[in-house]
Structure formats: structure tokens, C-alpha cells
A = this chain, B = another copy of it.
């Protein structure tokens, strides 16, 4: 099995090394990752300047690796199109330091690498350690190492990627299949004044505790809060099919 690994924390991130360690026994691992941190890049690609890919080494591992001066989506595109001699069987992005839950997946570079894998037709997984302070990636790494063989024995739905969040605790209680929750923020910007009297803004914000809908599938936000690993299937097609019917009248516009 050929596994392409990427991330958005950059090729030198600890979470990426943990992922490579977890996957090395499962097949041949190739790393194509940003040369530095590229968080919150969403699904952006680099079109206004050329990209470079530099052969590099992941200390402690004998895997082919490239550092790219672009976004996570650039990395996966370039890996599939040029750097890898043969297509991968699986794309795994992570392990991100910090959660990628709910509405926030739209901003996530980690998830965007997996989206790019799925766009190209490969089974793809994004993995995040859902804590900014908990530093031990090993429970997440151990989970991935054991979970991926289990996962690959099954038929996975097409055009879907899996967004996995592992709680920042030593012993998660289990796995839940979830939907994306609502992550709204308050106090999104900190407004400051520079030494020359000019205003500038830092993006900040505290997540608002959302009112969860008690019916239906549990959300990823709730599952992780309750110390479960959340797995949310994500789709590539943003079309709101239900709204199409509601909007048919717009076609009468002359």
C-alpha cells in the first residue's frame, strides 16, 4: 500500500512525524508537506507564483519526502501530478495540533489536503488532535495505526473523506460517527493601536457553546467534548439540493 502524507503545520511538525511512524508499518509512506506552518489556509492554491518542491528527510524515518513552498492543497496536487511515480492508495493529512471541528473545517488546511485527495479520487483522511495544549500525539498515532487497516477492509463511500478528531486525553472512550457541529465565535477580532496610532486587528475569538440539537446524529463537537474520537464523513459537493426545489421560481426571472 502506498500512503501519501501531508499536513498544514509544516513538514517539521511533531504531529506529522507521529503519523509517519504510525503508518510506516502499513505500507510505503511518501510525505509531501508545506515547508512551514500554513494553518487556516482553507482550500487555497498558489496561482500567482511558481511552486518549488525540495527533497528532504524526516529525521528517524526512511521515507521519501518533499517540502513544498505552498499550501496543503498545492502539496497533494503536486504529489499526485508529478512527485509520486505512482498514484497513492490512501491520503492522510495530519496529525494537526488543534481541533478541526464543525464549521471550522471550512478554514482548515489539514482538511483541505484530504479534500484534494478525495477530489482526485483517493480515499482520504484528515486527523487532528483536538487540543492546543495537550502535547502527546501518541494516543492519536496509535489510533490511526490500528484504525486504518480496520477501515480499509471495508468499502468506503466514494467522493467522501473522513475528518477525524482525537480528544486530547490519554485514553479516549471510543469512536463516534458524527456530523459537523456548529462552531460560532464571539469577540472575533482584537482591535489594537500600533505605536504610530494606527489601528490593527488580530483574529482571535472564543468558541461559543452551541445549542446542540438533541435529536439526530451527535455532532463532532459534542463527541470530542465527551472524550470520544469523532469521525465525520465530508462531501465534496457543496450543492444544497434541498434548496434547489425551493429556488425553482428564480428561473422565471426574465
Chain A at the B interface: SS class: mixed
Q: Are B238 and A177 interface neighbours, CB within 8 A? A: no
Give Cα A246–Cα B156 distance, bound, in whole angstroms: 8
Least Cβ–Cβ distance between A129 and chain B, in angstroms? 18
Give Cα A154–Cα B115 distance, bound, in whole angstroms: 34
Asked, given contacts A189-B77, A234-B240, A235-B239, whether A174 binds B251 with beta carbons under 8 Å apart, the answer is yes
Q: Which of A112, A162, A177 has the most CB of B within 10 A?
A: A177
Residue of B nearest to A254 (CB): B174
Of the stretches A26-34, A44-52, A57-65, A84-92, the one at the interface is A44-52
Residue A42 interfacial (CB < 8 Å): yes
Q: Are A203 and B45 interface neighbours, CB within 8 A? A: yes
Given A51-B201, A180-B238, 14 other A-B contacts at CB below 8 A? Answer: A40-B46, A40-B47, A41-B44, A42-B43, A42-B45, A81-B189, A82-B191, A150-B250, A154-B250, A157-B243, A177-B250, A233-B247, A234-B239, A235-B243
